[in-house]
C-alpha cells in the first residue's frame, strides 16, 4: 500500500536533521541551529512548514482561525477537542473543564502523594530503580485510570495502548509510516472496544468518574454522542499519562545532571514549583504541535498557502534567545518563564494543572526520600520513538 506524502501527518514523521540516536536524545543544538539559520522553512521530505522562533510559534498557536487544529490524529477519524476548532471546541472543553477545576485537582494532592510513597516504598531498600518503569509510568497511569474509572488490573494494558498512540515511524518511508499506522489502528480499535464496555456500564450505573460526567453532560440541550465520549476517553488516556511520565523522568534526568539542584530542592522545597516550570522549558515532554493553514498567510517572510501543514517547534521556541535570557542555562527560579510546553491559546493543555501537580509531588517525594541520586552509567538510553514527544524508555538510577 502506497501512502501519499501530503496525506501524512507531518508531526509524527521525524526530521531528517535528527538522524542519529544521539541527536534524538539531545535535539536542542539542532533546533538552535535551525532557528538561527532557517527560522521558517519548508521541508520537502515531510511536505510541511517548520517554525522555530518563539514569536512565530506563539502567533500560530493563538490564532486558531488561520491555523486550524482540524485533522484526524485518531487513525479511525474520531474527532477530539484536540482536533476541533471553535465553536464546538469551546462547548466540549467547557464540559471537561468541570472535571479539572483547580479545586478538583488540588483535592487529589493527598492521594497522589500516597501513590508516590507507595511506589518508592517498593524500591527504597534496594537503593536503585528504573525511574521510568518503577515510578514515572505507574504514577500518572494510576491517577488517570482512576479518574476514568478503569479497573486496577487493566492499568498495564492502558499504558501499552497509550505508548502506541504517540508513536511515530522510525524513518520517513512509506513502509515505516504504514507499519505505525497499522499499529495505531489496532490500538485504537481495542481502546474503542474497551471504553465502549465501560461507557455501557456507566449508563446503567453512574459512578464518580470522568466517563459518568461525560455521559450526563449536555451541549445546547443535547447529550454527547458515543463517538465523542470515546474520543475524550482516548485523548485523556494518551495526554493524561504519556506527557506526565516524560515530565517526571526529564525532571529526574535533570537532577542527576546537577547534584547541586538536588540539595537546593531538599533545603528549599518551595523551589520545586519553579523547578518543574524550568524542566518544562528546558526538557519539554512535547516538542512540536501541528496545525493546518486555513488561508494564505505570511510567517517570518515566507508565504504559507491554505491547506499547508505547519509544525510549531515549541522545544525550539522554549530556547529562543530573544525570549529567554541565557536560554541554555537551567535556572531553577527563572522568572518570568513563559514557556510553551503546554501549548498556548484555546488548545492550552487541559490537563496542565494535573500534570504540574503530579510533577511537583513526584519531585518533592523523591528529594525528601532519596539522596545523591545518580544515573547508572553504562546504560544506553533509548529515546521514545515519537518525533513530537521527548523522553526516554528507561532511566536507571542509584540513590542513598
Q: Cα 384–386–391 angle (5° rounding)?
A: 35
The span from the CA of 341 to the CA of 348, in Å, is: 9
- pLDDT of res. 163: 74
Task: Give the pairing of strands 222-223 and 218-219.
Answer: antiparallel
**What cell numbers appear for 33 in the block?**
541551529
Q: Which domain holds residue 302?
A: 5-398
The span from the CA of 340 to the CA of 315, in Å, is: 8
Residue tagged 542527576 (cell numbers):
256
- pLDDT of res. 366: 98
Burial of 350 by CB count in 10 Å (0-12 exposed, 13-18 middle, 19+ buried)?
Answer: buried
Report the predicted TM-score, pTM, of the whole model to 2 decimal places.
0.89
Name beta bridge partners: 396: 130
The conformation of residue 324, written as its DSSP 8-state character, comes to S
Cα 31 to the center of its chain, rounded Å: 19
* Residue 50, SS3 per DSSP: strand
* Residue 153, SS3 per DSSP: helix
- pLDDT of res. 225: 84
Q: What is the CATH classification number for the domain harbouring 84?
A: 1.10.630.10
Residues 6+ positions from 369 with CB-CB distance below 8 Å: 117, 120, 124
Counted domains in the chain: 1
- In the chain (400 residues long), the average pLDDT of successive 10-residue segments reads 46 86 96 98 94 98 91 53 66 74 87 96 96 93 86 78 72 75 84 90 90 83 83 77 91 97 97 98 95 96 96 98 98 98 84 93 97 93 87 95
* Residue 274, SS3 per DSSP: helix
Please check whether residue 372 is in contact with residue 269, taking contact to mean a CB–CB distance below 8 angstroms. no
Amino acid at each position: 500500500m502506497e501512502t501519499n506524502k501530503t496525506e501524512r501527518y507531518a508531526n509524527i514523521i521525524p526530521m531528517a536533521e535528527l538522524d542519529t540516536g544521539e541527536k534524538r536524545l539531545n535535539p536542542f543544538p539542532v533546533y538552535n541551529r535551525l532557528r538561527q539559520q532557517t527560522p521558517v522553512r519548508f521541508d520537502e521530505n515531510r511536505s510541511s512548514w517548520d517554525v522555530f522562533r518563539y514569536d512565530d510559534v506563539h502567533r500560530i498557536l493563538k490564532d486558531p482561525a488561520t491555523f486550524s487544529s482540524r485533522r484526524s490524529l485518531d487513525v479511525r477519524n474520531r474527532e477530539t477537542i484536540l482536533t476541533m476548532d471553535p465553536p464546538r471546541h469551546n462547548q466540549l472543553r467547557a464540559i471537561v473543564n468541570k472535571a479539572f477545576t483547580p479545586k478538583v485537582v488540588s483535592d487529589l494532592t493527598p492521594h497522589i502523594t500516597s501513590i508516590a510513597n507507595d511506589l518508592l516504598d517498593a524500591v527504597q531498600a534496594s537503593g536503585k530503580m528504573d525511574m521510568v518503569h518503577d515510578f514515572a509510568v505507574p504514577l500518572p497511569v494510576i491517577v488517570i485510570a482512576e479518574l476514568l474509572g478503569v479497573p486496577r488490573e487493566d492499568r498495564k494494558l492502558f499504558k501499552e495502548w497509550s505508548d502506541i498512540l504517540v508513536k511515530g515511524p522510525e524513518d520517513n518511508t512509506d513502509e515505516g509510516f504504514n507499519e505505525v499506522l497499522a499499529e495505531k489502528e489496532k490500538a485504537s480499535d481495542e481502546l474503542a472496544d474497551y471504553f465502549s464496555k465501560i461507557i455501557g456500564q456507566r449508563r446503567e450505573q453512574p459512578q464518580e468518574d470522568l466517563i459518568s460526567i461525560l455521559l450526563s453532560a449536555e451541549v445546547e440541550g443535547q447529550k454527547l454522542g458515543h463517538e465523542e465520549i470515546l474520543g475524550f476517553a482516548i485523548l485523556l488516556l494518551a495526554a493524561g499519562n504519556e506527557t506526565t511520565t516524560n515530565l517526571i523522568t526529564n525532571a529526574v534526568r535533570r537532577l542527576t545532571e546537577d547534584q547541586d539542584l538536588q540539595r537546593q530542592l531538599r533545603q528549599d522545597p518551595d523551589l520545586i514549583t519553579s523547578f518543574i516550570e524550568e524542566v518544562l522549558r528546558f526538557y519539554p515532554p512535547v516538542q512540536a504541535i501541528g496545525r493546518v493553514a486555513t488561508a494564505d498567510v505570511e510567517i517570518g517572510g515566507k508565504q504559507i498557502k491554505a491547506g499547508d501543514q505547519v509544525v510549531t517547534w515549541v522545544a525550539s521556541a522554549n530556547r529562543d534567545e530573544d525570549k529567554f535570557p541565557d536560554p541554555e542555562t537551567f535556572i531553577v527560579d527563572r522568572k518570568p518563564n513563559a514557556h510553551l510546553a503546554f501549548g498556548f491559546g484555546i488548545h492550552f493543555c487541559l490537563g496542565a494543572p494535573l500534570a504540574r501537580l503530579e510533577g511537583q509531588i513526584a519531585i518533592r517525594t523523591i528529594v525528601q526520600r532519596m539522596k545523591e541520586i545518580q544515573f547508572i552509567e553504562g546504560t544506553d538510553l533509548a529515546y521514545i520513538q515519537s518525533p513530537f514527544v521527548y523522553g526516554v524508555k528507561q532511566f536507571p538510577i542509584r540513590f542513598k
